[in-house]
């Protein structure tokens, strides 16, 4: 898995070097992560609307979701926005504050994106597998998040 993540990060850097449009870069990043990493079944970005303290669904790859607007603090995504800390949820059925996107989702990882020390967006990944996420997933997504912060 380590080699896979290294290769994905290299491919991401190539994409980032070629694409200047922020929305296109986020979409291509979601496509890359979903297509390259077997346990990533839904990959998307939520962007902070600071005026309304709301997360707005940005580019994503995977099944459509009804969760296009999430209040900060609500669900896993909202909790990450409120705390500024990544979250790995290996079993979503054990979470009281979970917003179910699909009956197929068993696990979720959410990693914040910061610009000048302020939360601006996050990477949200759902998996249909039980407990697939490791610290290696978090490290990969944090490296990508750090590089994406430049577009906000």
pTM: 0.94
Say which residues have a Cβ less than 8 Å from residue 125's Cβ, sequence separation at least 6. Answer: 33, 40, 42, 43, 44, 108, 109, 110, 137, 141
Given a contact cutoff of 8 angstroms between Cβ atoms, the answer to whether 145 and 111 are in contact is: yes
Q: Which CATH superfamily is domain 2-151 in?
A: GAF domain (3.30.450.40)
Domains of the chain by residue range: 2-151
Quick one: pLDDT band at residue 6, thresholds 50, 70, 90?
very high
pLDDT digits (tens, 9 = 90+) for 89-119: 998 778 676 666 666 889 999 999 999 999 9
pLDDT digits (tens, 9 = 90+) for 19-32: 999 999 999 999 99
Q: What is the pLDDT of residue 143?
A: 98
d(CA 88, CA 133) in angstroms, rounded, equals: 7
């Amino acid at each position: 898995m380590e080699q896979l993540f290294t290769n994905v990060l290299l491919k991401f850097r190539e994409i980032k070097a070629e694409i200047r449009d922020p929305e296109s870069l986020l979409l291509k990043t979601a496509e890359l992560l979903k297509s390259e990493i077997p346990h990533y079944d839904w990959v998307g970005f939520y962007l902070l609307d600071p005026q309304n303290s709301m997360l707005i669904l940005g580019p994503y790859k995977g099944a459509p979701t009804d969760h296009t607007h999430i209040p900060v603090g609500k669900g896993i995504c909202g909790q990450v926005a409120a705390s500024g800390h990544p979250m790995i949820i290996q079993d979503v059925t054990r979470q009281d504050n979970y917003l179910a996107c699909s009956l197929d989702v068993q696990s979720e990882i959410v990693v914040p994106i910061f610009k000048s020390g302020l939360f601006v967006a996050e990477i949200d990944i759902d998996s249909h597998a039980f407990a697939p996420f490791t610290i290696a997933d978090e490290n990969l997504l944090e490296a990508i998040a750090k590089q994406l912060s430049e577009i906000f």
